[in-house]
Structure 1
Amino acid sequence: MHVLRGGTVVDVDGVREADVAVADDGIVAVGDVGRGDTETDVSGQFVAPGLIDAHVHLMMDGRPDVATAQTMSDYEHAYVVASNLRSAVEAGVTTVRDLGANGDIALDAGRAVAAGRLDGPRVLACGRNVVMTGGHGHWFGREADGPDEVRKAAREQLKRGADVVKCMATGGVLTEGAQVGGPELTYDELSALVDAAGAKGVPTAAHAHGKEGLLNAVDAGITSIEHGTFMDREAANAMAAEGTYWVPTAAALKNIVENPDSGIPRSAMEKAQEAAEAFESSFEHAEAAGVDVAMGTDAGTPFNYFDNIADELAYMVEYGLSPEAALEAATVTAADLCGLDDVGRVAEDHRADLVVLDANPAEDADAWQEPSAVFAAGERVV
């Protein structure tokens, strides 16, 4: 048994002085803990749950023009995945949800981490995005048209072991010719996807910027809206009423608009700038309606690097969330979205996914930067 001794535990259940005992991959005691086989003195520091990023792309490397990655071989993508996994866990991220990759590469990465062949966070993955023919992200998605094709495409991902089924309800910023707010998959197609995933008890996620596509996804029963850039009051109220989660991915737009003249395609830059203007009000509408917010970054998109995932908490605070709310979004709410009941808290019978910080993250969103220690499933990686 290893004991983190003398620290202050911080999670959604509050702030309290407590030791934390870890055995194998789990937390076995929190409070007044006896002598451990080994101990780490964390006096004056804060012990918090590892971060959960509910929206990443492990095969992407932050290059300014993501479309150029089409020329990379599967072997090159695998090296990128391994590097990103290591960067994420060293940054204190202990669970990621990959929402779109070539073939089975992200699913394979999850199995490799679970088997101990790769260092990294726990990986949940969707396999390939389900997209309309020529739709957003089509070059690494599973193109499908009509409810029957979409249902089959979803079932293909489930057969491969998908933890979530992801689709494109609207166009996007980084696909040439796609309209950011324009609907792509129809309501009937989205309903077929939800029905296929629901038969296996698997959640769904929809990339959705514009209101019409967003509402189509909510009405169809999609579990989470990714981005939600043009969310208005009506859309936020609909999401709250249906219990639809929102994954804002503030880092995605921010890292594009703050890097002009850097090689990002002009069309993508123009679309991102338009979207960024609308994005701020989305937070206002979501907060007013009581929408559940889960942290996600879209890591891998331009200048959006895995070792900077913790920046997302500070961005959410910039948009109006409190540091406590950002902590909640990045731990228990993201865990709930991912269907995980053993992470997100520093509590007995939870996985020992822990970070040791020099400042209180419930008061300072920048506290997550440069953790002094990271434990992933009980193994110290930093």
Structure 2
Amino acid sequence: MTKTLFHNFSLFDGRRPENDQNAWFVVENGKLVDRGTGNTPKAEEEVNLKGKFVMPGFFNVHSHLTSRPDTFDGGFNMSETEASYLAVTHLRQMLKSGVTYVRECGDSYDVDIKLKRLMKVGMLKHVPELKPSGKVMSMTGGHGDGPHMAYLTDSPDEMRKAVRTALKNGAEVIKMMATGGVMTPGDFMADPQLSVAEMRTGVEEAHHKGIRASAHAEGNPGIQNALDAGMDSLEHGFYVNESECQQCLKQGTFITPTLIAEMNIPKYGKGKLPEWEIKKCEDALDDTYVNFKRAFKMGVRFTLGTDAGTPFNGFDKTPEEFEYLTKIGMTPAEAYQCSTLNSPELCDVAATHGTLEVGKFADFLVLDEDPLQDVKAVQQENKQVYLHGVREF
């Protein structure tokens, strides 16, 4: 394979909290095979990046590709054809924004699983890598109980069969609903939904196949229930308390805070969304920042996800999540490491993805400004995006 030398740039590799100046790396067969600063080696092809700034592509580990952020109904009322078209469109929007790896957390019709099959045989290109979840696990009348969106599980036995079915169909992560949520009219963040016994059964079945389990868990006692069930990640986790943080640390549980999703509903929703939906978010915001600041100080590991597809939360918004993470006490580098270090570990791909180190895939962005100096630098609209060493945008 042809070796390509990329040179003349400042490199944030996603691990070290500072830039390498006058950096270069060599890409062969989609991966970094050499890297350094100063004098460059010979290569068949060269790309001069003209003094710009290079950093790893983003992970987004919480997305809903078949939902529309402009319709506010969760995508429940679409046909499979419409959902599939939207999912491909949304994947390409994410790639353009800088996202090179997506983990899904619930889609209608198992569309993401079906798209992953097309990716594997080379029929779907110019999209990020994808870890599909398929439909979520919910209870009858629970969060996510919509047409074509959920397995409805009302006992441990029903959960066991549903998870086994999802894994048979090709799910690579199992998503369960531990609490109510913002977009469902009949429940609240504090409402517990799936029981510990039901969720523990789902976790057990997922882990038997080496698959991670995640829980939609916004309030308590559902957060505690999800932890007691052995979840690998808490999605949202707005009301996580000190003892639950200690349990996260003991169990190695990640939190995906999805701050932009919670911020955008009260920011843009007045006069467009139901008042009950806006009030749920407004009531939670102040507590969210207090709780996450404490969690971060305690050492809980945060991943990077946006809940893309929720109201006013488009698939081009991933770069904005880093800015919100700095508001809970992170430096820009620490915010990016939620994507470059923690998210790949949650997705079990840290050996090959996340940081720009030799032996890993060359998924990277080229920016005009230094992202370590200004967290808004990653919001550049016309950034260059490379996937496995090939420029996509």
TM class by smaller structure: over 0.9
- Residue of structure 1 in register with 2:15 after alignment: 12
Shift of 1:64: 4.6
| TM-score, scaled to structure 2 | 0.93
* Long gaps (5+) in structure 2: none
The answer to whether residue 176 in structure 2 is matched with residue 167 in structure 1 is yes
Shift of 1:36: 3.0
Q: What is the 5 A alignment of 1:300-379?
A: 300-340=309-349, 341-370=351-380, 372-379=383-390
1:30 to 29, 35, 43: 35
Shift of 1:57: 0.5
Q: What is the 5 A alignment of 1:231-246?
A: 231-246=240-255
- Residue of structure 2 in register with 1:98 after alignment: 104
Shift of 1:38: 2.7
Q: Hey, which bits of structure 1, 4+ residues long, moved more than 3 A?
A: none
Q: What is the 5 A alignment of 1:53-92?
A: 53-67=60-74, 69-92=75-98
Shift of 1:331: 1.2
- Relative to structure 1, the CA distance from residue 79 to residue 20 in structure 2 (aligned partners, 3 Å threshold; closer, same or farther) is same
- Residue of structure 1 in register with 2:292 after alignment: 283
**Deviations 1:231-287 (Å, cap 9, x if unpaired)?**
121222221221110000001111101013352222211211112232111212211
- Relative to structure 1, the CA distance from residue 360 to residue 116 in structure 2 (aligned partners, 3 Å threshold; closer, same or farther) is farther
Shift of 1:308: 1.6
The answer to whether residue 112 in structure 2 is matched with residue 112 in structure 1 is no
- Residue of structure 2 in register with 1:205 after alignment: 214
The answer to whether residue 48 in structure 2 is matched with residue 41 in structure 1 is yes
Q: What is the 5 A alignment of 1:182-221?
A: 182-221=191-230
The answer to whether residue 233 in structure 2 is matched with residue 224 in structure 1 is yes
Question: Aligned partners of 2:373, 2:191: CA distance in 1, in Å?
Answer: 39
**Deviations 1:146-198 (Å, cap 9, x if unpaired)?**
11111111111111121111100000000110121111011111110111011
Shift of 1:108: 1.8
RMSD: 1.5
Worse-superposed segment, 88-97 or 274-283: 274-283
Worse-superposed segment, 352-361 or 260-269: 260-269
Alignment identity in percent? 33
Q: What is the 5 A alignment of 1:252-267?
A: 252-267=261-276
Question: Aligned partners of 1:144, 1:291: CA distance in 2, in Å?
Answer: 30
Q: Does the aligned pair in 2 maintain the 1:357–1:367 contact within 8 Å?
A: yes
* Long gaps (5+) in structure 1: none
Question: Aligned partners of 2:119, 2:322: CA distance in 1, in Å?
Answer: 25
| Counterpart AA for 1:15 | N
Q: Does the aligned pair in 1 maintain the 2:182–2:189 contact within 8 Å?
A: yes
